[in-house]
Amino acid sequence: MKVRWLRRDELPLVVELIRDHVSPRHILVQSPALLSWQFPSTELTGEEGVSILGAFDSDTLVGILGQIPHRFHVRGNHGRGHWTGNWFVRTDARRGAPGLQLLGHARRLDALVLGCVGYNDRSKAVFTATRFELQPDVPRLVGVVDVDGTHDLLGSTASRDEVHAHRLRRQPMPPGWTLSTDSAGWDQAWATIANDRIGTVRDEAWIRWRYTDHPVFDYQTLFLRAPDGAPRGFAAVRREALPGGDGAVGRIVDIAGSQDGLGPLAAIVADWAAQAGVLWVDCAVSHRATYAALGTVLSSPQVPFPTRLQPPDLERVKINAAVAHAGAGRDLPSEMMSDPHFDVVRGDGDMDRPRSL
């Protein structure tokens, strides 16, 4: 068994593997643009490579582990990080443990951390055995905009009164605070905000690559500005249409702000949701101060609001995450995810995409 970075001209092998052994309707089969964008060339892969590790049995690709590159920081000190995406091994190629070989190779890379947003039971067992730190339920909040439409979708799993109890609560913006779509000055603001966080570096370059220039999905990037005009917060949002034209759900995919900006930022995303024509809006975020601020406009779900919508899956109501030190991360805190400043959102990894188009 040999593990190595795939070349860009080998992406058709990835499409073939997923098509034949997962589903021909998988989104990475249907959207070559998304596949190429999600796993770009990096310093580690070289110009001809893509950030997908492949396991080969002789000349046959039998498994993959995608690596979504980012900069990871611990209260402002940062280095290379990877979020995993599409870890898959053919069921007829388990001999030699190619899945473990892929993961072991990824752990030895010159990076601070290897993380995953969204894992299944099989992955959980491997992550536990290989000493990943697990967060089985990333804190999630919801705000219902259309009570009747949401109740119709949830069916017998929730009464109308239970749905109504989760309704969106809009808050007034403090005087002088404004919404902007201009990112000017964000890097300076982020340098301060990052001192309170452990997670992905959410600078202008990241926001532009991850959201503004996304090749498939239409994100809106919202910037909060204080009365002095300086940015104090950022959020990335999008509408996800339900199958058959039965409405849409609002996603607060990413969010970060200064201590004084988190309250106004919550007001901004609530206003967006109220005007977006959605059934409900949700946000998964582990940073405790951000979660608390959003709790003024959203509610902790007490009924099964699905996280997967293509189609709505009423049994998938949680988002989980895992993280482990990689080759260069030996000096990081031994436990990161239990830290109240650990910051993971839906926009990390590949959770903010449907399984199929």
Q: Are residues 126 and 202 in the same domain?
A: no
Select from 265, 301, 347, 304 the least CA-distant residue to 141. 301
Residue 38 lies in a domain: yes
Pair of tokens at residue 332:
């990081």
Q: State both tokens at 291.
A: 């979660």
What per-residue confidence (pLDDT) applies to 29? 95
Pair 206, 68: CB distance under 8 Å: no
The CATH code of the domain that includes 110 is: 3.40.630.30
The two three-digit tokens of residue 320, written as one number: 């989980």
Q: Are residues 233 and 308 both part of a single domain?
A: yes
pLDDT of residue 357: 64
Question: Which pLDDT score, from 0 to 100, does residue 334 have?
Answer: 81
- Residues 297, 187: one domain? yes
pLDDT of residue 75: 81
Percentage of the chain with pLDDT > 70?
Answer: 99
The verdict on residue 163 lying in a domain is yes
Same-domain pairing of 293 and 155: yes
Backbone angles phi, psi at 145, to 5 degrees: -100, -45
How long a stretch of residues is the chain?
357
With respect to residue 279, please indicate whether it lies within any of the assigned structural domains. Answer: yes
- Are 148 and 98 in the same domain? no
Q: Is 256 helix (H, G, I), strand (E, B) or coil?
A: strand
Which residue, of 117, 135, 153, is where some domain finishes? 135
- 28 domain residue, yes or no: yes
**195 found inside a domain:** yes
Q: Are residues 144 and 276 in the same domain?
A: yes
Name the nearest CA neighbour of 216 among 53, 352, 48, 86. 352
Which segments in the chain show pLDDT lower than 70? 356-357
Same domain, yes or no: 308 and 195: yes
Residues 103, 219 within the same domain: no
Cα 97 from chain centre: 28
Q: Specify if 247 maps to a domain.
A: yes
If asked whether residues 166 and 309 sit together in one domain, one would say yes
Q: What is the rounded distance in angstroms from the CA atom of residue 213 to the CA atom of residue 229?
A: 25
Amino acid at 57: D
Q: What is the pLDDT of residue 61?
A: 96
Tell me, yes or no, whether 127 lies in a domain. Answer: yes
Same domain, 131 and 153: no
Does residue 131 sit in the same domain as residue 144?
no
The whole domain housing 288 covers: 140-318
Measured CA to CA, the distance from residue 275 to residue 281 in angstroms comes to: 11
In sequence order, the 6+-apart residues with CB closer than 8 A to the CB of 252 are 235, 236, 237, 269, 273, 281, 282, 283, 294, 346
Q: Please give the tally of structural domains in the chain.
A: 2
pLDDT tens string 268-319 = 999 999 999 999 999 999 999 999 999 999 999 999 999 988 888 888 788 9
Residue 354 belongs to a domain: no
Indicate if 161 and 250 belong to the same structural domain. Answer: yes
What average pLDDT is seen over the chain?
93
The per-residue pLDDT for range 332-345, each reduced to its tens digit, is: 888 899 999 999 99
User: Which of 100, 135, 170 finishes a domain?
Assistant: 135
